[in-house]
């Protein structure tokens, strides 16, 4: 398989994900755990829907970047990855996304998330991943044929979904992450004694 060009959306997605992880790692390394917990509680403590939207947005972005990287690794023959087939039929990753969405919807119907906040966060994150897996093959829905590697709208869908995920993370978590960054990079206050 030929190498992907550097300007390819998969390289861009992985680069953005790597930079975002690095920035978050630096911020969390510089902020004390108690301070981060207090800022998180301030922004999300009483606003459960906003917190779930943040987890779903992060899950969406991680799922989208992850599945793009995985599909490109499979196509390039890198690593231990391969396509999933059953009975000679290729199982597209939108199937796994739909199954995740169905599972999350079923749990929400039973109001499982009302009993346990951790479970609510986990299901919101899973919802984001399921949405990413499903929407990543939007062109397959639209054309009713496998055009994943064809030019038909793929690059614009990549850009729209990545940009939308980044916007939603900043919208739902922007104030929280800005305050954490302010705590991480503020100058220490010296007390004279």
Report domain extents, the chain.
50-173
Distance between CA atoms of 168 and 166, rounded to whole angstroms? 5
Identify which has the larger pLDDT, 117 or 4. 117
**Residue 193, pLDDT above cutoff 60:** no
Average pLDDT over residues 57-79: 86
pLDDT value of residue 95 = 92
Average pLDDT for residues 66-90, to the nearest whole number? 87
Looking at per-residue pLDDT, the higher value among 9 and 102 belongs to 102
**Hey, how many other C-beta atoms are within 10 angstroms of the C-beta on 74?**
15
Question: What region, left, alpha or beta, does residue 101 occupy, with left being phi > 0 and alpha being psi -120 to 50 degrees?
Answer: alpha
pLDDT of residue 188: 64
pLDDT at res. 10? 57
Cβ(35)–Cβ(183) below 8 Å: yes
With a cut of 80, say whether residue 58 has pLDDT above it.
yes
CA pair distance 123, 70, nearest whole angstrom: 23
Give pTM, 2 decimals. 0.74
Confidence category of residue 1, pLDDT binned at 50, 70, 90: very low
95 versus 48: the higher-pLDDT residue is 95
Stretch among 42-46, 59-63, 151-155 having the lowest mean pLDDT:
151-155
* pLDDT given at position 2: 44
Q: Above 50 in pLDDT, residue 44?
A: yes
Contacts of range 79-85, beta carbons closer than 8 Å, 24 or more positions apart:
none
What's the pLDDT at 122? 92
Paired sense of beta strands 89-90 and 85-86, if any: antiparallel
């Amino acid at each position: 398989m030929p190498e992907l060009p550097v300007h390819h959306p998969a390289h861009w997605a992985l680069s953005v994900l790597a930079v975002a992880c690095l920035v978050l790692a630096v911020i969390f390394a510089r902020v004390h755990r108690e301070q981060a917990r207090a800022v998180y509680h301030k922004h999300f403590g009483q606003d459960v829907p906003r917190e779930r939207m943040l987890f779903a947005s992060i899950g969406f972005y991680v799922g989208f970047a992850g599945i793009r990287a995985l599909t490109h690794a499979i196509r390039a023959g890198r690593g231990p990855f391969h396509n999933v087939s059953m009975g000679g039929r290729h199982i597209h990753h939108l199937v796994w996304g739909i199954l995740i969405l169905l599972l999350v919807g079923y749990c929400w119907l039973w109001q499982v998330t009302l009993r346990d906040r951790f479970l609510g966060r986990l299901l919101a994150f899973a919802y984001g991943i399921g949405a990413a897996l499903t929407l990543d093959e939007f062109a397959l829905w639209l054309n009713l044929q496998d055009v994943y590697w064809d030019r038909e709208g793929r690059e614009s869908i990549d850009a729209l979904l990545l940009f939308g995920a980044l916007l939603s993370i900043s919208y739902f978590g922007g104030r929280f992450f800005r305050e954490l960054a302010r705590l991480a990079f503020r100058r220490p206050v010296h007390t004279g004694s």
